[in-house]
């Protein structure tokens, strides 16, 4: 039963994603039934034996910005393998998160933030103490973050999976085949930015 509850939404999440029909960085689109079955077997191996999970290398691309300065953007080799973990831990993390936290979280759009601001600031009851709004935008928050801090502050993700994400390394596409260590930061692990 647990297997079905995790695998079904995970596969649905991967195959209905906006970019699911594009070949992606590996130039291998998932379009046939055999490829979907292979995806299900990959996901079920993670669900059935999470201790055997090993993160794949990250790929980094040099993408030109509109101003021409360029920027490095990390992409995981197989991001869909993170999806079962997301399905498993997202209900618990939503329960633990701050109610008034908006950003990368699902169903926490700017319109929700505006609605809550209007309600809380316009409330005239004496026991409601909200009178100020603080806007915080942490620039490049995940680039210099300490991996040891993440290990302490993300107790929901299994330790071996978290270590695998933080230590997987990366390669520069079209520049070098050398495997580089991630060092500080999350290295574009994707899932950690939600927590």
| Residues 151-169 pLDDT 10s | 777 767 777 777 777 777 7
Instruction: Provide the pLDDT for residue 193.
Output: 46
Answer yes or no: is pLDDT of 149 > 80.
no
pTM above 0.85, yes or no: no
- Whether 44 has a pLDDT exceeding 80, the answer reads no
**With pLDDT > 90 as the criterion, what percentage of the chain qualifies?**
0
Indicate the average pLDDT of the chain. 67
- At 44, list the tokens: 């079920």
The domain limits of the chain are 2-96+139-194
Give the 3-state DSSP-derived string for the chain, with helices as H, strands as E and coil as C. Answer: CHHHHHHHHHHHHHHCCCCCCCCCCCCCCCCCHHHHHHHHHHHHHHHHCHHHCCCCCEEEEEECCCCCCCEEEEEECCHHHHHHHHHHHHHHHHHHCCCCCCCCCCCCCHHHHHHHHHHHHHCCCCCCCCCCCCCCCCCCCCCCCCHHHHHHHCCCCCHHHHHHHHCCCEEECCCCCCCECCCCCCCCCCHHHHC
User: Is residue 26 very low, low, confident or very high in pLDDT (cuts 50, 70, 90)?
Assistant: low
pLDDT digits (tens, 9 = 90+) for 54-113: 777 777 666 666 666 555 555 544 455 666 666 666 766 667 766 777 766 666 777 887
């Amino acid at each position: 039963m647990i297997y079905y509850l995790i695998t079904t939404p995970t596969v649905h999440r991967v195959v209905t994603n906006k970019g699911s029909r594009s070949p992606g960085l590996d130039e291998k689109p998932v379009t046939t039934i055999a490829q979907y079955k292979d995806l299900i077997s990959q996901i079920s191996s993670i669900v059935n034996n999470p201790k055997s999970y090993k993160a794949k290398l990250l790929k980094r691309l040099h993408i030109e910005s509109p101003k021409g300065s360029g920027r490095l953007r990390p992409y995981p080799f197989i991001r869909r393998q993170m999806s079962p973990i997301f399905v498993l831990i997202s209900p618990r993390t939503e329960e633990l998160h701050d109610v008034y936290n908006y950003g990368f979280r699902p169903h926490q759009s700017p319109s929700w933030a505006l609605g809550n601001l209007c309600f809380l600031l316009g409330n005239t009851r004496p026991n409601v103490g909200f009178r100020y709004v603080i806007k915080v935008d942490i620039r490049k928050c995940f680039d210099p973050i300490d991996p040891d801090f993440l290990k302490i502050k993300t107790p929901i993700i299994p330790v071996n999976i978290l270590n695998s994400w933080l230590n997987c390394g990366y390669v520069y596409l079209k520049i070098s085949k050398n495997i580089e260590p991630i060092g500080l930061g999350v290295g574009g692990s994707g899932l950690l930015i939600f927590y």
